[in-house]
Chain A
């Protein structure tokens, strides 16, 4: 179900909840943790995709533990300090909040295609266009980059195929590095050619700086409405539990 939600609901919801995550108390964090587990179950995303977060959180935990757990009296040197339970609790609280924001973001990226993410983010830039045309350019660049990357990956695969058809890949790492360097030049040339084509395509559709407006045709479904209501209710609860 999460996969089909309008990307705007997902982007907006993630930003809204992440913001509230910095304000709420432990009850709000507990509520969010249970809700997150529920969303992971509903989305049927494999648990292994969250594995990459573990190392990041371990390092952040060590950093916060050290930064908040070790306290020392005022006007004394750092080595006169001692470990503080209150400091550790504060570090754990901070880590909990960060873990929830990271996990929600990971869930969001797992259930939203990159291009949809770009469109969703670009949509929220629209109001900023009234303040500065740069917001439109940024939104356009964001969606174009997300489109351009797969194209370049496709070209890189073809360059790689062309190389694979020539001779055997060398075993020595010096020769491997040399081979890779030789492939970088044609890849850069191809990327430049593709970028030029993209620029020409933009010009032939009347591109002008500051003009970009996203066009989403996604019909508002009852699922989207449900999603918005859940996010609003969730946000209100987090605010109440401040």
Chain B
């Protein structure tokens, strides 16, 4: 039995005396706010960065090993959040075999092992395909299997299950539980549902780890529930009177090559929750609504006008899109410049006070206005992206997973903002139905580029099984 011990680990001003004993057969869930140092701790344990103080020890059956002589990549595996950014192999086979070849195994043995692994994770027959041809769930399974093939004693999953729909997540979890006896696991997550499945819950706060014990017991505690945004389902009293407003977005028998096929109407002030498994066409739908792609057949009308190449300027004025992980793609040189992008020097100075108040309305304090976006936490960057999108009030707001990767307090802040936008027409894409249940008027379930279910929010429970079958968390 191996035990990894962290003793008084410090790193910059992020970690401030972290202590941990992690057994080889133990699954630990690690939670904490954005920017609290979870990923830094993961990188430290994986040996990608060195601590400024403290020691890491590996003990095997009670005997301590010299950490500097341990082949860390062999002992500790690390899987990150984005499947598409983690694959290094040109083919599925190369991905699975790369580490095994580095371990010095014979190429013929590796070939056989790779075939075996591929079929075990449901990728049999796809060995010669490029990983880019796989879905997000398949890619994450591939990366996890490639790391597990090295039989690491410890595995860190840094929000690795966040981007996946429930079905894909269940597949990866199955793989992880199979490896549990040989591989200790550290699941870094914001999702309390996932944390409940672990053996132990740790919380990182002020650069230190707090051991909360058994997660299913710890997460019952009401303080913990508010800290991690755990909420029981509230039975919302739905208004029965439907909104009888004029159509604002109207897809008339539209086809977008073979990717998307729509025939739908969205009315003014409606909040549509759009759910569906990964790769089903949710983001493509939002791209179509803002004119990033134009129909190959049929028409899309925005406020009664057909969207075409010539009308894109008007479309972009009336519609705003918050990209998935918008915080990653901030292009302004400062927060202020990002939100008020395109304004000339004089404009930027004018009405500065009013503009700072506008930022504060989005939870961005004035002191951050001149900060470089790179220096902000994930939650802060997402708020900046929202503020930039809502600098002028649009007719239609398109939100692509706006809460992805955010901690509970950032999520709550953004959800409070969204709940205040009663008059806006909102199309909100998510994997998690619970995010929109309180606000949506209607739900669309998308599968293979088609809206296969369009139901009023009042009836969502009648279709709960259908949502679950599609990998939607609800």
Q: Answer whether A197 and B74 are a contact pair too, CB < 8 Å, given A203-B48, A217-B115.
A: no
A106 within 8 A of B: no
B265 within 8 A of A: no
Is there an interface contact between A202 and B91, defined as CB atoms closer than 8 Å? no
Is there an interface contact between B73 and A215, defined as CB atoms closer than 8 Å? no
Q: Answer whether A194 and B147 are a contact pair too, CB < 8 Å, given A189-B374, A217-B128.
A: no
In Å, the complex CA distance between A214 and B90 comes to: 9
Over the window 202-215 of chain A, the binary record of Cβ atoms lying under 8 Å from chain B Cβ atoms (1 yes, 0 no) is 11111110011111
Shortest CB distance A133–B (Å): 13
Interface size on B, residues (CB 8 A): 55
Among B80, B89, B146, B388: residue with most chain A CB under 10 A: B89
Over the window 92-135 of chain B, the binary record of Cβ atoms lying under 8 Å from chain A Cβ atoms (1 yes, 0 no) is 01100111011100010011001100000000000110101000
How many cross-chain pairs have Cβ atoms below 8 Å apart between A and B? 128
In Å, the complex CA distance between A1 and B342 comes to: 52
Over the window 285-325 of chain B, the binary record of Cβ atoms lying under 8 Å from chain A Cβ atoms (1 yes, 0 no) is 00000101000000000000000000001001000110100
> Given A183, A208, A214, which contacts B102 in the complex, CB threshold below 8 Å?
A208
Q: B69-101: which residues lie under 8 A (CB-CB) from chain A?
A: 71, 73-74, 77-78, 80, 84-91, 93-94, 97-99, 101
In Å, the complex CA distance between A115 and B313 comes to: 38
Is there an interface contact between B48 and A200, defined as CB atoms closer than 8 Å? yes
A154 / chain B contacts, CB cutoff of 8 Å: 84
B374 / chain A contacts, CB cutoff of 8 Å: 189
Q: Answer whether A166 and B329 are a contact pair too, CB < 8 Å, given A119-B94, A194-B85.
A: no
Is there an interface contact between A159 and B93, defined as CB atoms closer than 8 Å? no
Q: A23-46: which residues lie under 8 A (CB-CB) from chain B?
A: none
Shortest CB distance B276–A (Å): 21
A207 / chain B contacts, CB cutoff of 8 Å: 102
Is there an interface contact between B331 and A205, defined as CB atoms closer than 8 Å? no
> Given A166, A183, A206, which contacts B103 in the complex, CB threshold below 8 Å?
A206
Q: A167-182: which residues lie under 8 A (CB-CB) from chain B?
A: 167-168, 182
A19 within 8 A of B: no
> Given A144, A165, A218, which contacts B290 in the complex, CB threshold below 8 Å?
A165
Is there an interface contact between A198 and B97, defined as CB atoms closer than 8 Å? no
A229 / chain B contacts, CB cutoff of 8 Å: none
Is there an interface contact between A206 and B91, defined as CB atoms closer than 8 Å? no
A201 / chain B contacts, CB cutoff of 8 Å: 80, 86-88
Considering the complex, give the chain A residue whose CB is closest to the CB of B92: A217
B328 / chain A contacts, CB cutoff of 8 Å: 158, 190
Shortest CB distance B54–A (Å): 21
Q: Answer whether A151 and B290 are a contact pair too, CB < 8 Å, given A118-B90, A215-B110.
A: no
Shortest CB distance B33–A (Å): 22
B150 within 8 A of A: yes
Q: B416-442: which residues lie under 8 A (CB-CB) from chain A?
A: none
Q: Answer whether A158 and B329 are a contact pair too, CB < 8 Å, given A115-B91, A204-B73, A217-B91.
A: yes
Is there an interface contact between B150 and A198, defined as CB atoms closer than 8 Å? no
Shortest CB distance A67–B (Å): 41
Among A113, A119, A198, A217: residue with most chain B CB under 10 A: A217
A55 within 8 A of B: no
Considering the complex, give the chain A residue whose CB is closest to the CB of B79: A204
**Secondary structure dominating the interface of A:** helix
Is there an interface contact between B91 and A216, defined as CB atoms closer than 8 Å? yes
B341 within 8 A of A: yes
Is there an interface contact between B132 and A150, defined as CB atoms closer than 8 Å? yes
A226 within 8 A of B: no
B321 / chain A contacts, CB cutoff of 8 Å: 165
Among A119, A167, A214, A215: residue with most chain B CB under 10 A: A215
B97 / chain A contacts, CB cutoff of 8 Å: 215
A228 / chain B contacts, CB cutoff of 8 Å: none
Top 4 A-B residue pairs of the complex, sorted by shortest distance between their CB atoms: A167-B342, A206-B102, A205-B99, A162-B329
8 of the cross-chain contacts (CB-CB < 8 Å) are A146-B90, A162-B326, A203-B48, A204-B46, A205-B147, A206-B103, A206-B150, A216-B91
* Further contacts, 9 of them, CB under 8 A, given A197-B85, A207-B102: A151-B85, A165-B321, A167-B342, A205-B98, A206-B99, A215-B91, A216-B91, A216-B94, A217-B127
